[in-house]
């Protein structure tokens, strides 16, 4: 799933002959034999994932380290990408490397067209991968998607309004967060702006309670789980927090755009990716130097709140004619050097927790990285996209916030989620 408000182009470059024996020496584990003769590696990167400059530097560096290699990096639009990738995976001439949303991996792996890279996990330091990227990349115990970068929500707050309310440090627990938000609801200030259908935020609260949005049964079928006590506890906390602001109960954070609401100057907090600060400052430059960031608080001070990890994984199609060379591209993009450069330039969370220091000095990205250690992904069903299409979770939230019994609303939502996940 592509992280909102985050995420250019590289032009084709030089020429290559990569012998299969050379590639076998620099890659670990058995992978498909590369086609003989000159090869050009085709890499699909999504629009705005990284800057032109980053891609140009990566291309030059990779080709210098792999003499004769040609990288043809082609920029793809997010709109309509699902069908395009599905068609490519079914073809006999797929790209060699494809960037995909982390929650899309299961859907693509189900086609049988994605190469299993499980034997590469140790070499890529998979033990330290961010769970919200690594977990959806693994399907039926096989690692098809290699984590590339992540982004998750944090709390953006007004430092000046916190100070006026006597709050000297950001809250570390949910209850501290509620208490501080109540303090901020004075003198015409809105303690927090939280729209009623911000379902990724709700998901975090449900995960904190030990629940989920849907689970896979022993028989292999998926079913919604919003009627469970854990989900009811999660929506209960959401209801308490949402009531401390004036956000609409029947809309999400895009209607109206929450950054524009915050920019009006009367709101103390909102939940967004750090990139949301740019939209706020564009609408109201006077808020420059007044914005701060902290991880979404958890149930206890020793662990931040659970967050949805959006971002991208890298996959290698089965029909790639140069799988060994393709793996070298994945290895480089996921390695220390380019993960660190991407974190600094794009303010993304690197794919491994051990690289968090790369974000030092960037307050928003550092808060995001701190929260990423408790990152999660949506249920790893190949049909999850069907749930999001009509999204009964949003409807469930509005019903609860407007007075419907959570169990009753959850039962109805579960039926819709279960039907969507069944593929019917």
Residue 73 has pLDDT above 70, yes or no: yes
Residue 23 has pLDDT above 60, yes or no: no
**What pLDDT does 308 receive?**
96
What does the alpha-carbon distance between residue 397 and residue 143 come to, in Å, rounded to a whole number?
Answer: 34
Structure tokens at 248: 């609409």
Beta pairing, strands 142-143 & 138-139: antiparallel
Selection from 171, 207, 213 nearest residue 192 by Cα: 171
Arithmetic mean of pLDDT, 55-75: 94
Arithmetic mean of pLDDT, 361-386: 93
What does the alpha-carbon distance between residue 320 and residue 92 come to, in Å, rounded to a whole number?
Answer: 8
Q: Which CATH number fits domain 20-151+309-376: 3.90.550.10, 3.40.50.300, 1.10.287.310, 3.40.190.10?
A: 3.40.190.10
**What pLDDT does 187 receive?**
85
Residue 58 has pLDDT above 80, yes or no: yes
What does the alpha-carbon distance between residue 258 and residue 85 come to, in Å, rounded to a whole number?
Answer: 32
- Listed by start position, the domains of the chain span 20-151+309-376, 154-307+380-422
Q: Which residues contact 38 (CB under 8 A, 6 or more apart)?
A: 15, 16, 17
* Cα R_g (the chain), whole angstroms: 22
Q: Which of 23-32, 64-73, 240-249, 364-373 has the highest mean pLDDT?
A: 240-249
308 - beta bridge partners?
Answer: 376
Question: Quick one: angle between helices 199-208 and 229-242, nearest 10?
Answer: 130
**What pLDDT does 34 receive?**
61
**What pLDDT does 35 receive?**
52
What does the alpha-carbon distance between residue 205 and residue 237 come to, in Å, rounded to a whole number?
Answer: 7
**What pLDDT does 389 receive?**
87
**What pLDDT does 9 receive?**
25
Residue whose token pair is 């994605």: 114
What does the alpha-carbon distance between residue 156 and residue 262 come to, in Å, rounded to a whole number?
Answer: 10
**What pLDDT does 275 receive?**
87
**What pLDDT does 16 receive?**
25
What DSSP letter does each residue of 57-120 carry, written as one string?
A: HHHHHHHHHSTT-EEEEEEE-STTHHHHHHHHHHSSS--SEEEEEGGGHHHHHTTT-B---GGG
Structure tokens at 243: 């009531």
pTM of the entire predicted model: 0.82
Residue 148 has pLDDT above 90, yes or no: yes
3-state percent breakdown (helix, strand, coil) of the chain, nearest 5: 45, 20, 40
Residue whose token pair is 């250019």: 8
Q: What is the dihedral of CA 410, 412, 414, 419, to 10 degrees?
A: -170
289 — pLDDT class (breaks 50, 70, 90): very high
The sign one gets for the Cα dihedral 190, 191, 196, 198 is: positive
pLDDT in tens, 81-98: 999 999 999 999 899 999
**What pLDDT does 423 receive?**
83
What does the alpha-carbon distance between residue 134 and residue 352 come to, in Å, rounded to a whole number?
Answer: 10
Say which CATH class 154-307+380-422 falls into. alpha beta
**What pLDDT does 360 receive?**
86
What does the alpha-carbon distance between residue 358 and residue 339 come to, in Å, rounded to a whole number?
Answer: 9
What does the alpha-carbon distance between residue 91 and residue 95 come to, in Å, rounded to a whole number?
Answer: 10
What does the alpha-carbon distance between residue 195 and residue 193 come to, in Å, rounded to a whole number?
Answer: 7
What mean pLDDT, rounded, does the chain reach?
A: 90
What does the alpha-carbon distance between residue 62 and residue 83 come to, in Å, rounded to a whole number?
Answer: 30
**What pLDDT does 178 receive?**
98
Q: Are 29 and 296 in contact (CB under 8 A)?
A: no
222: left (phi over 0), alpha (psi -120 to 50) or beta: beta
């Amino acid at each position: 799933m592509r992280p909102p408000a985050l995420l250019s182009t590289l032009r084709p470059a030089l020429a290559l002959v990569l012998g299969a024996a050379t590639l076998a020496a620099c890659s670990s584990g058995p992978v498909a034999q590369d086609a003989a003769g000159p090869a050009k590696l085709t890499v699909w990167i999504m629009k705005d994932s990284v800057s032109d400059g980053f891609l140009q530097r990566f291309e030059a560096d990779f080709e210098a380290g792999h003499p004769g290699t040609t990288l043809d990096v082609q920029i793809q639009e997010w709109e309509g990408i699902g069908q395009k990738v599905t068609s490519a995976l079914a073809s006999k001439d797929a790209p060699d490397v494809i960037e995909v949303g982390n929650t899309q991996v299961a859907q693509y792996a189900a086609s049988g067209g994605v190469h299993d890279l499980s034997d590469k996990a140790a070499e890529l330091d998979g033990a330290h991968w961010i769970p919200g990227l690594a977990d959806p990349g693994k399907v039926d115990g096989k690692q098809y998607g290699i984590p590339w970068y992540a982004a998750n929500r944090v709390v953006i707050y007004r430092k000046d309004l916190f100070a006026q309310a006597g709050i000297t440090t950001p809250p570390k627990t949910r209850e501290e967060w509620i208490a501080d938000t109540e303090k901020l609801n004075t003198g015409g200030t809105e303690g927090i702006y939280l729209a009623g259908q911000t379902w990724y935020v709700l998901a975090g609260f449900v995960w904190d309670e030990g629940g989920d949005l849907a689970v896979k049964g022993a028989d292999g079928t998926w079913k919604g789980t919003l009627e469970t006590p854990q989900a009811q506890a999660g929506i209960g906390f959401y209801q308490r927090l949402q009531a401390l602001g004036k956000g609409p109960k029947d809309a999400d954070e895009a209607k109206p755009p929450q950054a524009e609401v915050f920019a009006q100057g009367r709101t103390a907090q909102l939940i967004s990716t750090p990139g949301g600060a740019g939209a706020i400052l564009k609408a109201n430059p006077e808020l420059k130097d007044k914005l701060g960031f902290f991880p979404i608080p958890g149930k206890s001070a020793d662990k931040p709140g659970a967050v949805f990890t959006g971002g991208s994984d890298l996959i290698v199609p089965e029909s790639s004619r140069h799988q060994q060379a393709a793996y070298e591209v994945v290895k480089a993009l996921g390695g220390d050097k380019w993960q660190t450069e991407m974190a600094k330039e794009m303010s993304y969370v690197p794919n491994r927790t051990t690289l968090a220091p790369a974000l030092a000095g960037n307050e928003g990205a550092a808060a995001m990285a701190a929260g990423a250690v408790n990152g999660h992904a949506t249920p790893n069903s190949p049909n999850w996209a069907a749930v999001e299409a009509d999204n009964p979770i949003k409807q469930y939230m509005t019903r609860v916030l407007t007075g419907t019994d959570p169990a009753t609303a959850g039962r109805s939502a579960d039926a819709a989620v279960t039907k969507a996940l069944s593929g019917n």
